[in-house]
Amino acid sequence: MASLITCPHCGIRPKEEFTIRGDASVTRPAPSASDEAWHRYVHIRDNPRGRYLEYWHHASGCRRWLIVDRSNVTHEVFSVTDAAEKAKEVAR
């Protein structure tokens, strides 16, 4: 059986409609940050085992960016939120 992702805009869709774009818990440095801070942001990343947040793009659907809370061991998806909505919440 195919893995399914529940897009908040399109409903339940096969995972093949999405592309994974990486860790959503990393904070982008300020434009004026040091070269070392930018180096760590771009090149040095943890590769956690288990549950964590990832950016996914619904490339074959609504084309929205989503934040998917999932386990990279079991592939279980715990929640999916719109990345723009999440950014608005964090900005408040």
Digit-coded pLDDT (tens) for 14-73: 999 999 998 898 888 999 999 999 999 999 988 889 999 999 999 999 999 999 999 989
Structure confidence at residue 2 (pLDDT):
62
What's the pLDDT tens digit per position in 38-49? Answer: 999 999 988 889
Between vectors from CA 54 to CA 12 and to CA 21, what angle results, nearest 5°?
Answer: 95
Pairing state between β 11-14 and 4-7: antiparallel
Domain 4-91 has CATH 3.30.2270.10: yes
Q: 38 in helix, strand or coil?
A: helix
Global pTM value: 0.82
